[in-house]
Amino acid sequence: MKKFFTAIALTAVAFLGQAQCVEQEEPNYNGNEAECRPAFSIFNEFLKQNSLNDAARAWWDVQDICPQYKTSYYGNGRYIYKKMAQDIADKNSDAFKNKMDTLEIVYDLTVKNYGDCPDLQMKRAHDLMLDETHRYNKAFKYFEMAFSGAPEESIQSYDVVYYFRAAYFMVGAKLIDCGQMMEIYEKLEKMSTKRVKESEAAGDSGEAQNWKTTLQTLESYVVPCANCDVLIQIYKPKTDAAPDDLELIKNVLSKLDKLNCEDDYVLELIEKVDAKEPTAKSKMLLGNASYIKKNYSKALSYYEEAISRDDIDEETKNATILKMAKVYLNQGSYKNAYKYAGMLSGCEAKYIQAQAVAQSAGSCGETKLDRTAVYCYALDLAEAAGSCVSSSWLANIQGSLMTKQDAFILGKSAGDSIEVPCWGVKTKLRLNG
């Protein structure tokens, strides 16, 4: 009777196009209980002892006698060959290839006897990534199948990471193009972002962090396709088709803004958002677009609007102020560059202050001593900036200081306190050489 029900179940799987897997817990002896029982007992004993080579040989004996013994028996077979493959250090060796080939055969036999389903496809895809150099294309196929059929809540963060890693290899081999990769990225990013929010709402900080790490990993793998030309080509048809979809536009802008894309399309999107929902963020983005186009006065105007708004958050405000400091530095408005950079902590802001002071030397210093005083103050600020300072910039400033001979003629020596013109501070004299 049990054999009859198993046959019915397998027939059902065939008609469903292998859309689901049959779970069989009761043994099916294939009409040969006398040989099947001892064969499985020998296999099971080797497995308990973790004697994998012996267990592998015994597994095939069971396969010959009663190939539909239990579904768990196939799980054991997959485990054995996966473990043996993992234990081989040289992933380019024939031994590793043979174990992976056999692992695939065990998967094929599982499907033949019990059907296919997203859970099995996901397991198969992960196992194929053990040999990612040679089998990423097969893994990608099974990830595609699993992700299209599995309930979203069953998908784990590591499933997402390995699926996209397989896609990364597919792009490298030119088996899929950047457009296809970005479609996968969009789907996985949306899913991961949703799972972060769900985990945080449930108070599961560990799971939330797993999904945040997944988002970072997705961004690192998408790099080959994440350039302005590719992204604009992908996203422009979408925003053109839905010109009033602000959520879509904001999502596109979040990606393009990171790349500082110099394209009128970007400005058009920002203006659409700002016209309907003006925020500190939209003003900042308008400023960034103007900055990229070297329209500095317009950029500063937008930045001023951004930092004066009540809805600005601390992160956006600091980023905007830093941009303003850079614009003023590029414009030669050194006092303003110094002022805005001084509103921030961190080495990048200190470096901007050092650059602003150093670049003012020509207009502030009428004598060699005056200019040296300005450079000395710039070096004081550079020391506070630490690792942010360019070594070539530092060498150039140090080379512009007056020499010991020049200082001796003026009755000065290293370490003397001197006034810094324009800046209203005192510093200690440094010399070149």
Q: Is residue 17 exposed (0-12), middle (13-18) or buried (19+ Cβ within 10 Å)?
A: exposed
Question: Looking at residue 109, what is its pLDDT?
Answer: 97
- Mean local confidence (pLDDT), 288-297: 86
- Quickly state the pLDDT bin for 19 (edges 50, 70, 90): low
Question: Looking at residue 17, what is its pLDDT?
Answer: 39
Residue 244's identity, in one-letter code, is D
- Mean local confidence (pLDDT), 99-114: 97
- Domain boundary assignment for the chain: 227-262, 278-344, 354-433
Contact between 215 and 159 under an 8 Å Cβ cutoff? The reply is no
Q: Tell me the HSE value of 426 on the side-chain side, using a 13 A CA sphere.
A: 5
Shortest CA distance to 183 belongs to which of 145, 234, 221, 136?
234
Does residue 18 surpass a pLDDT of 60? Answer: no
Model confidence pLDDT, tens digit, residues 238-271: 899 999 898 889 888 887 877 777 788 888 898 9
Contact between 43 and 61 under an 8 Å Cβ cutoff? The reply is yes
Model confidence pLDDT, tens digit, residues 265-278: 888 898 998 999 99
Tell me the average pLDDT of the chain: 91
The greatest distance separating any two alpha carbons of the chain, rounded to the nearest whole angstrom, comes to: 112
Q: For residues 397 and 290, which has the higher predicted lDDT (pLDDT)? A: 397
Does residue 290 surpass a pLDDT of 90? Answer: no
Question: Looking at residue 401, what is its pLDDT?
Answer: 95
Give dist(CA 183, CA 225) in Å, integer: 11
Model confidence pLDDT, tens digit, residues 32-62: 999 999 999 999 999 999 999 999 999 999 9
C-alpha angle 267-271-232 in degrees, rounded to nearest 5: 40
Q: What is the DSSP letter of 402?
A: P
Pure H helices in 49-93: 52-65, 71-86
Question: Looking at residue 208, what is its pLDDT?
Answer: 96
Question: Looking at residue 16, what is its pLDDT?
Answer: 37
- Quickly state the pLDDT bin for 212 (edges 50, 70, 90): very high
Say which residue the tokens 């020998």 belong to. 42
Question: Looking at residue 233, what is its pLDDT?
Answer: 83
- Quickly state the pLDDT bin for 162 (edges 50, 70, 90): very high
Give dist(CA 239, CA 234) in Å, integer: 10
Coarse DSSP helix, strand, coil percentages of the chain, rounded to the nearest 5 percent? 75, 0, 25
% of the chain beyond a pLDDT of 70? 96
Model confidence pLDDT, tens digit, residues 382-398: 999 988 999 999 999 99
Model confidence pLDDT, tens digit, residues 168-186: 999 999 999 988 998 899 8
Does residue 326 surpass a pLDDT of 90? Answer: yes
- Mean local confidence (pLDDT), 218-237: 84
Question: Looking at residue 293, what is its pLDDT?
Answer: 83
Question: Looking at residue 224, what is its pLDDT?
Answer: 81
Does residue 289 surpass a pLDDT of 80? Answer: yes
List the beta bridge partners of residue 418.
Answer: 427
Contact between 147 and 192 under an 8 Å Cβ cutoff? The reply is no
- Quickly state the pLDDT bin for 372 (edges 50, 70, 90): very high
Neighbours of 318 (CB within 10 A): 17
Residue 278's identity, in one-letter code, is P
Question: Looking at residue 4, what is its pLDDT?
Answer: 29
> Which fold would CATH assign to domain 278-344?
1.25.40
CA dihedral 341, 346, 352, 357 (to 10 degrees): 80
% of the chain beyond a pLDDT of 90? 74
Backbone CA torsion sign across 330, 333, 338, 339: negative
Contact between 259 and 226 under an 8 Å Cβ cutoff? The reply is yes
Does residue 3 surpass a pLDDT of 60? Answer: no
Q: What counts of helices (H) and strands (E) characterise the chain?
A: 22, 2
Question: Looking at residue 365, what is its pLDDT?
Answer: 81
Q: What is the DSSP letter of 389?
A: S
pTM for this prediction? 0.61
- How distant, in Å, are the alpha carbons of 55, 75, 123 from that of 88? 17, 20, 20
Shortest CA distance to 328 belongs to which of 294, 366, 356?
356
